[in-house]
Structure 1
Amino acid sequence: MNKKILALGAALCLPLTAAFAQQTPKPIARHLVYASAFEEAALNAAEPATEKSRLAQLLAIKPGANEAQLAHATTVLANVYAQVDATRPEGKSLAKRVRTIFDIVHKDFLSKYEDKATFDQTISSGVYNCVSVSALYSLIFEHYRIPYAIKQKPTHVYVVADPEGSNILVEATDPQGGYFLPDARFKKAYVEYLAEHKLVSQEEVARLGTEEVFKQKFQADKTISLTQLISLQYYNKGVLALTEEAPEESYQALQKVEKLFPAVETKYLLLESLRHRLSGISYSKIEEVELLADFYARQPGTKFRDEAVNDFRVLTQKFLSTKATPPPTAASTKSFRPAWPIRAHGALFHLSITCSGGA
């Protein structure tokens, strides 16, 4: 008899029953599995964040990341700053400074676009995707105190410099046409298009003016923080693992997304990775019992209450009895397959991986 598992099963019954009485039960914080001590330190770094701590979090997606690679990334950024400084940016307009940074990064640093690229690859070899290069631009803009916003579409991420002014789109995946500074003619035509299609009223245009309407409506995608952007690397890793039927790897990656920046979408995918993981297991290990507890704790209200009580009753009987008892077979833990495709940022994972396109 495994007393450790029995004790856990008995202890979890009470908090789970109490959780079902609440409208929004708090998930059980299952122990995170870190790929390295470097990753654990990076994801648990104290605030306020520094450039070094951001770099560490971005590099941590690589299992073998270490302090030497962090030092190399710091040197790489210092070299970029040296190239920018050599152009004497302090005497230039903001738009020209952004153009200078864009040209240096794309012409002298980035080499190849790949859907599944991560920040460590961008630093080491110039291989990039929309997430990794947007993170790079964000760090550079912060260094030069250039105002910026990170914009997120369902399958794409990009950066806008001077979002409260000139709205300079820095499109990370298009080195030829990726820099776009809207002029007055473009803004007027765009607002007229919105009015013609009744996406904005003529009264709004008259009241707010073309410049303000354009500012509010053009590329009006979701604005996210740099922390959220960093978490998207783990989000993509979790989504890819889920599509490749690796639910445990998916669950571990999505837990880190939730740690960095919890969101409804992440919580949903965590639940789906748990459904996959619970299919066909025997609950002979304490980790498997923890997974079951986590699955039920994430359910809203009284959903699956009866199944939870039954499953933990069977678990208790199984480990109290000298004879093996068949594992729980609640309907909620049956084999699950999500409705494809699931979209990751920078790629659409279906039967194959393809680029989602630009902003």
Structure 2
Amino acid sequence: MGKLFSFFLFLFSVLVSAQDSINAEGITFLSDFEESHFTNFANGAEEDYIAALLGIDSTMTVSKAAKIKSNVDNFLEGLKKKSLSYNPKKKVKYIFNEVHDRFFRKYELDANFSDIFKSQTYNCVSGTALYTYAFDYLGVPYQIKETPTHVFLVAYPFQYDIYVETTLPGKAGSYVPSEFIIKKAIDNLVSMKILTSDYVNSVGYNKAYNDYYYGNENITKKDLVGIQYYNKGIFLLNGSKYQRAYWNMQKSSLVYENEKTKIFNEGILTLLMDELDFSNMENFKWFITFTKINQETDYLKYKLYSIISNDKLSEFDMVQVEEKLAEVENTDLRNALMETFYSFKAEKAYKFQNTSEALEYAQKIYELNPNNINAKNYIALIELDKLAQKNISDARLEDLTDLVERYPFLEEFGLYNRYRVYLYSFLVANSFNNNQKVAGDAYLNELEQLLKENKEGSLDFNQGAIGKAYGEIGAYFYRKGQKENAMRMLKRGLEFSPENEDIERKIRLINQSY
């Protein structure tokens, strides 16, 4: 059977072929014929069984499929009268041999259903599929069994349990095990402690044999269609056709409920994440597809960053990335990826001193994650710098208050208090320069409170602004003839800003006037 469980093999396969360009946003079908009949069958249209099996052939058409079905039906119609005269065991053997002689010539591991009618090439999946159709047509009850590497049929289950092995022609193709064989097989299982004698005694040898060798779980004709696509996916995988392998696994999963298709799809997409050239934005759709089955946020954020940090991507490409990220279905994951994207954009814009763009992206990050320290930092740097570029006046105090109301976190940043020192220093200097002592004292109180809080030197502030503030205070008192007060305030300024040249110069001037 064409199920090569090659998970470890494909992890070390060669790079993706450049010609594998498949639409990753929705399953890509080989033809309109495949899409219509496959999806109909997937949705329960039982009459499309043969068409669904044939759709895996990209050259299949409605007329070709109809002709194949008609030929099969005519052949089976010819078997119907004679098969009715046989007992169940002979009937199964007769049908088996006639179908095998008519349709099967060569066993090939990678054959698909349409190959039966092109070259009489088959494997256990396609062979079993044709026998299920024949048994349905001729009224033979059956069950379809699956093992990890094989599928086969059991005709007349619970009555004769006739094993139908499609890959073996002649007498070996269908048989009923004798009571002797059954007893010997079960006794061996008991001796190996695989089964217990109590269990065998309670259910009987025949049921114990059937349950162990044939299994309790059956698969359906729909599963057979899915297994055919699963097999094709494995062969494409082993041939390093990863993208096409993925879509065959996807088709398989629509009709074949099995965990291994999900495992393989995740493995294939992981390979694609490492091998695809994401400088070609067409390939970014595979990243979005990957997010549907792998939601390891840290890895996806790392992978996204490695993609968007490629210098070959244009601004148009980046717009496409943003639009595609909006399609990620998981809200938390989408927000995390958007945060990574906006962080990259903000960082790049800020490095190129495009502060308006950096602020735009920082605000988007902040909306997604108010705890993002980089977003807070960009907002603090840019907004406070914008404020600092304006003419300094008491109106800036209102601006600063408004800004903190919008971004309360600004008070956590040193730049906020540095700006306040600068602003209050200017307001103090301006007030005393204009002989507005009451206003000046109020501003000075705020300034000195800030400077006292920074007694340990945790804040870098503008020494020139401090010198200007205390210098204007000294000048005010000097103009008023209050030289002692002038000296007292200047020396007080030196307590907050030692060795301040502006303050020391004013002190020297006053000393020279004595």
Q: TM-score range by the shorter chain?
A: 0.7 to 0.9
CA distance in 2, matches of 1:213, 1:232: 28
Q: Letter of the aligned partner of 2:111 in structure 1?
A: A
- Please point out which of 169, 178, 182 is paired with 2:173: 178
Structure 2-normalised TM-score? Answer: 0.53
Structure-2 residue corresponding to 1:245: 240
Asked if residue 54 in structure 1 is aligned to residue 52 in structure 2, the reply is: no
In terms of fraction of residues, the more strand-rich structure is 1
Structure-2 residue corresponding to 1:219: 214
Q: For the Cα contact (< 8 Å) 1:239–1:250, is it kept in 2?
A: yes
Asked if residue 116 in structure 1 is aligned to residue 110 in structure 2, the reply is: yes
Q: For the Cα contact (< 8 Å) 2:105–2:120, is it kept in 1?
A: yes
Asked if residue 167 in structure 1 is aligned to residue 142 in structure 2, the reply is: no
Q: For the Cα contact (< 8 Å) 1:43–1:57, is it kept in 2?
A: yes
Asked if residue 102 in structure 1 is aligned to residue 111 in structure 2, the reply is: no
Q: For the Cα contact (< 8 Å) 2:279–2:313, is it kept in 1?
A: no
Superposed displacement of residue 109, structure 1: 2.7
Correspondence 1:23-172 to 2 at 5 A: 30-45=25-40, 47-51=43-47, 53-87=48-82, 89-172=83-166
CA distance in 2, matches of 1:96, 1:102: 10
Q: For the Cα contact (< 8 Å) 1:296–1:304, is it kept in 2?
A: no
Superposed displacement of residue 76, structure 1: 2.2
Superposed displacement of residue 244, structure 1: 1.1
Secondary structure of 1:30's aligned partner: coil
Q: For the Cα contact (< 8 Å) 2:279–2:312, is it kept in 1?
A: no
Superposed displacement of residue 281, structure 1: 3.2
- Any idea what the Cα deviations from partners look like across 1:89-116, whole Å, max 9, x if unmatched? 3343222221111111122332221122
Q: Quote the RMSD (CA, aligned, Å).
A: 2.7
CA distance in 1, matches of 2:117, 2:78: 16
Q: For the Cα contact (< 8 Å) 2:281–2:317, is it kept in 1?
A: no
The list of structure 1 runs, each at least 4 consecutive aligned residues, that deviate by more than 6 angstroms after superposition, is: none
Q: 1:79 to 1:111 in 2, by over 3 A?
A: farther
Q: 1:292 to 1:198 in 2, by over 3 A?
A: same
CA distance in 2, matches of 1:226, 1:55: 10
Q: Letter of the aligned partner of 1:40 in structure 2?
A: E
Superposed displacement of residue 304, structure 1: 2.5
Q: Letter of the aligned partner of 1:206 in structure 2?
A: N
Superposed displacement of residue 263, structure 1: 2.4
- CA radius of gyration, larger in: 2
Secondary structure of 2:40's aligned partner: coil
CA distance in 2, matches of 1:81, 1:108: 11
Q: Which structure's relative contact order is higher, taking Cα pairs within 8 Å and 6+ residues apart?
A: 1
Secondary structure of 2:27's aligned partner: coil
Q: 1:202 to 1:49 in 2, by over 3 A?
A: same
In terms of fraction of residues, the more helix-rich structure is 2
Q: For the Cα contact (< 8 Å) 1:271–1:298, is it kept in 2?
A: yes
Secondary structure of 1:119's aligned partner: coil
